[in-house]
Amino acid sequence: MPLVYLMRRESFCASHRLHTDLLSDDENRRLFGKCNSPNGHGHNYVLEVSLRGEPDLKTGLLMNLTELKHILQEVILSRVDHRHLNLDVAEFSKTNPTTENLAIVFWRMLEEKISKKLLYEVRVFETEKNSAYYRGE
């Protein structure tokens, strides 16, 4: 059976502060630049979630996209949109909300709702040019 990939794109706005206690304040400023701003700053993020599998023989669908839309809304967007990631999202209270970590944390959130067999990739764009993706490896 042919394997197909299905992707849904969503966007959300959130602020964050990138900072690690393992570095000095000066090193944090140099490494994270604007993202180290003491009160945080915002990004217009894009989230892309890809599934992989064989389409259903009867329907031709891998997954109902309306269902996927509802899962993304419930599991991720309702928790991060227009929030401060460090302060409002428990998963980032101790984990630096870098694009890399967003991809990993979002994957873990989705794993509880989407079978591991189907979930293929979670990609997060922090800007148009920078993105990170995670495939559960």
Catalytic positions, please? Answer: 35, 82, 126
Q: Say how many C-beta atoms besides its own lie within 10 A of residue 73's C-beta.
A: 13
Stretch that binds Zn ion, among 33-41, 56-64, 100-108, 127-135 (CB under 5 A): 33-41
As measured in angstroms, the least distance from the Cβ of 35 to Zn ion is 3
What is the Cα–Cα distance from 95 to 98, expressed in whole angstroms?
Answer: 9
Nearer to Zn ion among residue 50 and residue 95 (C-beta): 95
Torsional class of 136: left (φ above 0), alpha (ψ -120 to 50), beta (otherwise): left
Identify whether the C-beta of residue 111 lies closer than 8 Å to the C-beta of residue 72: no
Stretch that binds Zn ion, among 28-36, 56-64, 67-75, 77-85 (CB under 5 A): 28-36
As measured in angstroms, the least distance from the Cβ of 80 to Zn ion is 14
35 touches Zn ion by CB under 5 A: yes
As measured in angstroms, the least distance from the Cβ of 99 to Zn ion is 9
124 touches Zn ion by CB under 5 A: no
Nearer to Zn ion among residue 58 and residue 129 (C-beta): 129
As measured in angstroms, the least distance from the Cβ of 16 to Zn ion is 6
Residue with tokens 């299905």: 6
Q: Nearest 5°: phi and psi at 53? A: 170, -170
85 touches Zn ion by CB under 5 A: no
What is the Cα–Cα distance from 8 to 21, expressed in whole angstroms?
Answer: 36
Identity at 8, one-letter amino acid code: R
Element (H, E) at 8: strand 4-16
Nearer to Zn ion among residue 35 and residue 102 (C-beta): 35
Task: Note the residues at the interface with Zn ion (CB under 5 A).
Answer: 35
